[in-house]
Amino acid sequence: MLQTNLTHLLSAKDLEETVKNNENVMVCCGRMGPMCIPVYGVMDELQGEYSHVAFRDMEFDTPDAAVIRNLPECRNFRGLPFTVYYKNGKVVKATSSIQNKDQVTSILSSEFSAKVPVK
């Protein structure tokens, strides 16, 4: 299991229910590796600020993570982590490899809400 402060998705069903029950979802699918840990850290920092977004992680090597690995949006990805943003049940953005806080907040603001993050 990933050693993060985020809520973990343990199965494809977990992901399905999370996406069904939340308008805005950000999922980071990775390992406890050098490129993934900074993204989990950024998400952990942001989950207090973006209360309208569900922040989740998922272990890349679990068989159920195929639902992320095999997404068409991740077809050309060859760098961990795979980070996927869902809005109203649909993938609206996906990124490969390490992302910093500015890159993540830019996507959150453009894809999920024009409003200022909740303080």
Q: Which residues bind another protein (CB under 8 A)?
A: 3, 31-38, 41-42, 45, 75-80, 95-98, 100-101
Rounded to a whole number of angstroms, the minimum distance from the CB of residue 97 to another protein is: 3
26 φ, ψ (degrees, to nearest 5): -120, 125
**Nearer CB in complex with another protein: 33/89:** 33
Shortest spacing between CB 109 and another protein, in angstroms:
15
The backbone torsions φ and ψ at residue 86, rounded to the nearest 5 degrees and listed phi first, read -110, 135
Using alpha carbons only, how large is the chain's radius of gyration in Å?
13
The residue (of 24 and 95) whose beta carbon lies closer to another protein is 95
CA-nearest of 77, 87, 97 to 28 is 97
Judged by CB, which is closer to another protein: 14, or 93?
93
| CA of residue 115 relative to chain centroid, distance | 20
Q: How far is the CB of 88 from another protein (least distance, A)?
A: 25
Of the pair 38, 62, the CB lying nearest another protein is at 38
What CA–CA distance (Å, rounded) separates 46 from 8? 16
Closest contact distance (angstroms) between CB of 13 and another protein is 26
- Write out the two tokens for 68: 């992320």
